[in-house]
Amino acid sequence: MIKEFARSTLSLTTDPAPPAVQAFQERTHVSFPTGDTTASGDFLRFRTLENTLLERHPDLTGRVEFNDFDPLLLKVTLSGERSVVLARVNFERRTAWTIVGPTPHSEPSVWALDTSVDVLADALHAHAAAHILGTPVPSPLRWDEGETSDMTRLADLLDAAGVRVRRVVAGNRWFAKGSRGAPELELVGESAGVYVDAELADSFVRISVKPATGWLVDAYIRDLGAWGRLDLAHALWGRQAAVPGVPTTEVTVEEMADLIGKGLDRWNDSFPWKLTIRSTNPGSIPSNQQHALFPVEAPEPIHRTLFEDAPPPDTGVSTTASRDIARTVVDQLTVLGFGNVHLGDSVAPVRSHGYDVQLRDGVRKDVSLAELERLNGLAAASGEEVPKRLILVTDTGISRQAAVFADRAKAFVFRIDRSTARLTPLTGRTRQVMLPDTAPPDHDLDPW
């Protein structure tokens, strides 16, 4: 860190900076807004923060100091040279509020710039009080969350059960990752939903809630170096669901915590382990994304059309498909949590109890609104007792209007890559059912 940051942690004097702050400064190549870039609004915001902190937490009276010259920051003195600091920090490409603790190994607490003054004041107090009293930071602030939610409650329950909670993402979607010498600021996308990352003895688990799915549990199995999705309906009730996840109205936070706490041995028969590996040849490809769980045989030859044999009809949906392509689609949909998906026949290469799976080939144009409306109507009519939902697999793109309609109709639309046979999402709802696309270590700051 820069020398100015060390000086800014003083009592407006030239005394040596707290050792922990100096260590953080030396280890971290982040910077701070200077007088050239700091407007009077920032000064007033810090002054408001100082006043709010003392009003809400008078126990800190005499410990709080507002450093009103470059760089602006708010400091709470603990004892001696030890302090906790709140500042606006410029990471590699973004700026965020950051709370820095008194020890060299303190994890930074990162907050979006639009975080309310009350939450920032409470967070700074919580971290300072924890060091003063020798107690943990209380929930939800210990998870860098300003409000209690199902995710913070789940994190509390897992922590009480001895499960290591790595991260909570709900209201605050920012965190620092990568090199501690030059950390990056990460913003979690909305398609990831709200989630808790937890570490068990043999796996890393993400428990999430998304609008399209409800509860989801994805596990990164260290021995396989890949993600897999737990069949929650089977793990909880011994039955298979047609869709990924289970509704939040059917499972309580306490039940989820109990399930996760029992670990991988309890869930083993709720993973699609039968798909483990079909081929170990160098040409085998992952069935989903970069860290997908179950490699499958690559279709051959790749240069031919995806859906071979008879020429496609005018509707743009092939009535015949190569078995290898159909099999990769079945495998990938199964891994994502679509139950009862299996190989069909020449009329319907992929069949499902709850979905009408259409493989679209031979049409160069993107999927249009009119085409998707027609296919969605055919899917609904194909259900014998209740209407079926549409799963469309295409090797083209999709128009914006069609994508909006697909989400309203609760359809899923995937693009299949001709060279790898991987499925990627084309709509917002489809993005919500995808597995995490990075390994757990890529989510964190490097270890000390």
pLDDT single digits (tens) 299-340? 333 333 343 333 333 344 443 346 778 889 999 998 899 988
Final residue of a domain: which of 271, 295, 319? 271
- pLDDT above 70: percentage of residues in the chain: 77
Report yes or no on 441 lying in a domain.
Answer: no
Report yes or no on 448 lying in a domain.
Answer: no
Report yes or no on 438 lying in a domain.
Answer: no
Dmax (CA) of the chain: 83
The tally of domains found in the chain comes to: 3
Report yes or no on 440 lying in a domain.
Answer: no
Report yes or no on 436 lying in a domain.
Answer: no
Residues 282 and 427 in one domain: yes
pLDDT exceeds 50 at position 3: no
Closest CA to 306 of 185, 414, 164, 184: 414
pLDDT category, 36, cuts 50, 70, 90?
Answer: very low
337 half-sphere exposure, CB direction, 13 A CA radius: 28
Pick the range with the lowest mean pLDDT from 69-78, 241-250, 268-277.
268-277
pLDDT at 268: 67
pLDDT at 26: 52
Pick the range with the lowest mean pLDDT from 125-134, 168-177, 187-196, 345-354.
345-354
* 392 conformational bin, left if phi > 0, alpha if psi -120 to 50, beta if neither: beta
Q: Is 115 exposed, middle or buried (0-12, 13-18, 19+ CB in 10 A)?
A: middle
pLDDT exceeds 90 at position 344: no
pLDDT exceeds 80 at position 30: no
Residues 82 and 203 in one domain: no
Residues 295 and 408 in one domain: yes
Rg (the chain; Cα; Å):
26
pLDDT at 443: 64
Residues 106 and 165 in one domain: no
Q: Are 246 and 230 in contact (CB under 8 A)?
A: no
Residues 346 and 297 in one domain: yes
pLDDT exceeds 70 at position 428: yes
Average pLDDT across the chain, whole number: 80
Residues 359 and 232 in one domain: no
pLDDT at 296: 35
6-21: pLDDT as tens digits: 333 333 333 444 444 4
Neighbours of 105 (CB within 10 A): 12
Report yes or no on 234 lying in a domain.
Answer: yes
pLDDT at 29: 47
Residues 294 and 416 in one domain: yes
Report yes or no on 50 lying in a domain.
Answer: yes
Residues 155 and 133 in one domain: no
pLDDT at 176: 87
What is the pTM for the complete model shown?
A: 0.80
Final residue of a domain: which of 221, 254, 271? 271
Residues 111 and 29 in one domain: yes
pLDDT category, 263, cuts 50, 70, 90?
Answer: confident
Say whether the peptide bond before residue 58 is cis (omega within 30 degrees of 0).
Answer: no
pLDDT at 415: 96
Residues 222 and 363 in one domain: no
135-162: pLDDT as tens digits: 999 999 999 999 999 999 999 999 999 9
Report yes or no on 125 lying in a domain.
Answer: yes
pLDDT category, 224, cuts 50, 70, 90?
Answer: confident
Q: Average pLDDT for residues 33-45, to the nearest whole number?
A: 64
Element spanning 196, H or E: strand 194-199
Residues 266 and 394 in one domain: no
pLDDT at 441: 67
pLDDT exceeds 90 at position 52: yes
Residues 242 and 380 in one domain: no
- pLDDT above 90: percentage of residues in the chain: 49
Q: Domain span at residue 30?
A: 3-138
Q: At what angle do helices 40-56 and 117-133 cross, to 10 degrees?
A: 50
